[in-house]
Amino acid sequence: MAYLIVNSSIIAKCYEGENTMKSQVENGKLIILLPERIDASNSDAVNKELQDIISGVDFQGIVMDGEELDYISSAGLRVLLGIRKQIDKPYDVINISPKIYEIFDLTGFIDVFNVHRKPREISLEGLKIIGKGTLGTVYKLDDERVVKVYNAGAPVPYDRVEQEKKMARQVFVKGISTALSYEMVHANNAFGVVFELLSPVTVMDYMLEHPDEKDEMTVKVCELLKKIHSAELTGDNVPSMKNMMLASTAALAQIFSEDEMARFQKLLSEVPDRKTAIHGDYHPGNIMVDKNKELVLIDVGDMSTSHPFFEFYDMYPVFLLADELGAYASKYNDAMIRDFFHIGSDKEYEERKKFMQTYWDRLLHLYFEGHSDEEIATYDSYFRGIGRLKQFITILQLPDEDPQAKMLEIGRAKELFFEEFDKIPPVEEWWPKDL
């Protein structure tokens, strides 16, 4: 359902076709780059070309990209309206300039189409990086705003950025402290969202700088997590983390047999369904500490609904499993971890690893308060077992410069995975009834 927006130079490269208007089907969406002008002089020709384009492909919805559109008259609007009535499928008009947006607004067509303005361009030069995640990097714009820029080279779908904005609003209404989003922007051939800046300090950095307050902060981290899990998210735009995880395991067919795939997919598919709010990337780098030492959640675009078990799968710090990788994988994994956590020296690396271990242990004891150390150790082993699935992402990304070494890494990781995974009973049998 996702579709890409890129600037005109990139569009020219990625759209192919015989028509003057370039088009492409992306994840079921037919994306059409509109011409510079649509008025009475060319509306018939534009309509004919649009008809040729939509009759030649299968699609689930249309995206009219107005990156190059400089003028549209009432005749042009009627062409777009005619296509809208004809297809009776999701219909978006994106990437349009302020003056074109004003035309849609004044004529009332803003209520007919799902219209998106062209994001304004910003510069990242000289901006301080205050956080980094799997999808992008957070920069400090000024004393009141930050911008999360999605990784360049892999442009993020427009609806993925919109999802982050919508989810931030829904979470805020649920009483969960999160940074409110202001607008979508474009920087260095990548898209981003501008958020309010409540604090430039992450929980991780704060606890490393104030070790005497580590336990107090971990208590607050757990309280926030439980507050998230006490909420329910609704709406068509809220995905199921269970479904997403099952879908993502399809990539592992490269290294697992059908029988092996069935073993862990069975456990995942039998986890009870819930509408419980799940953050999906809950780590101390995605939580900020404000001036009153209160916590503020960021990076909420991955929020979904599911059983909390999936939150702990995602939270398990694979960082702690790095030493189990062989030399071939460790060389690349080490560089990835250092980049993600902004780690420089070997000493800092060891400090972060020790921090993550003690933080994780304390968080488990707080979340499962009232349960024995033995029970919590058992839960930990289950989370570690399922968490090992993420380790295969690292292995799949290894270069093929030494295929034999890569196969040895895969064999070793599979052995460690099933050794622990096969001991995990169905979640419904052991998950605490009060959580």
Q: Which of 181, 196, 211 corresponds to the end of one domain?
A: 196
Residues 208 and 190 in one domain: no
Residues 68 and 158 in one domain: no
Phi, psi of 9 (to 5 degrees): -65, -35
C-alpha separations of 165 from 110, 159, 332, 366 in Å = 20, 10, 34, 31
- The answer as to whether 400 is a domain residue is yes
Residues 188 and 211 in one domain: no
- The answer as to whether 152 is a domain residue is yes
Residue 218 belongs to domain spanning: 203-430
- The answer as to whether 1 is a domain residue is no
- The answer as to whether 208 is a domain residue is yes
- The answer as to whether 3 is a domain residue is no
Determine the pLDDT at residue 34.
95
The angle subtended at Cα 182 by Cα 177 and Cα 185, nearest 5°, is: 130
Residues 411 and 376 in one domain: yes
Residues 19 and 155 in one domain: no
Determine the pLDDT at residue 1.
31
CATH number of the structural domain spanning residue 362? 3.90.1200
CATH number of the structural domain spanning residue 186? 3.30.200
The pTM for the full model equals: 0.75
pLDDT tens string for the chain (435 positions)? 333 333 433 333 343 444 578 998 877 889 999 999 999 999 999 999 999 999 988 888 899 999 999 999 999 999 999 999 888 888 889 999 999 999 999 998 888 888 888 888 999 999 988 777 667 788 989 988 889 888 765 545 566 667 777 788 888 888 888 877 778 888 888 888 888 887 778 898 899 899 999 999 999 999 999 999 999 988 777 889 999 989 888 888 888 999 999 998 999 999 999 999 999 889 888 898 988 899 998 878 778 999 999 999 888 876 677 666 666 566 666 666 676 666 777 788 778 788 888 999 999 999 999 999 999 999 999 999 998 887 787 677 777 777 888 888 888 888 889 999 999 999 999 999 989
- The answer as to whether 123 is a domain residue is no
Residues 253 and 285 in one domain: yes
Residues 250 and 385 in one domain: yes
Residues 227 and 259 in one domain: yes
Phi, psi of 130 (to 5 degrees): -115, 0
- The answer as to whether 435 is a domain residue is no
Determine the pLDDT at residue 53.
93
- The answer as to whether 188 is a domain residue is yes
Residues 278 and 374 in one domain: yes
CATH number of the structural domain spanning residue 66? 3.30.750.24
Residues 373 and 272 in one domain: yes
Bridge partners, 131 (sequence order): 138
Residues 218 and 367 in one domain: yes
69, 38 in Cβ contact below 8 A?
yes
Q: Which of 64, 85, 118 corresponds to the end of one domain?
A: 118
Determine the pLDDT at residue 373.
96
Residues 229 and 192 in one domain: no
Q: Which of 169, 196, 223 corresponds to the end of one domain?
A: 196
The 3-class secondary structure across the chain, one letter per residue, is CCCCCCCHHHHHHHCECCCCCCEEEECCEEEEECCCEECCCCHHHHHHHHHHHHHCCCCCEEEEECCCCCEECHHHHHHHHHHHHHHCCCEEEEEECHHHHHHHHHHCHHHCCEEEECCEECCCCCCEEEEECCCEEEEECCCCEEEEEECCCCCCCHHHHHHHHHHHHHHHHCCCCECCEEEEEEECCEEEEEEECCCCCEHHHHHHHCHHHHHHHHHHHHHHHHHHHHCECCCCCCCEHHHHHHHHHHHHHHCCCHHHHHHHHHHHHCCCCCCEEECCCCCCCCEEECCCCCEEECCHHHCEECCHHHHHHHHCCHHHHHHHCCHHHHHHHHHHHHHHCCCCCHHHHHHHHHHHHHHHHHHHHHHCCCCCHHHHHHHHHHHHHHHHHHHHHHHHCCCCCCHHHHHHHHHHHHHHHHHHHCCCCCHHHHCCCCC
Q: How many domains does the chain have?
A: 3
Closest CA to 76 of 111, 46, 33: 46
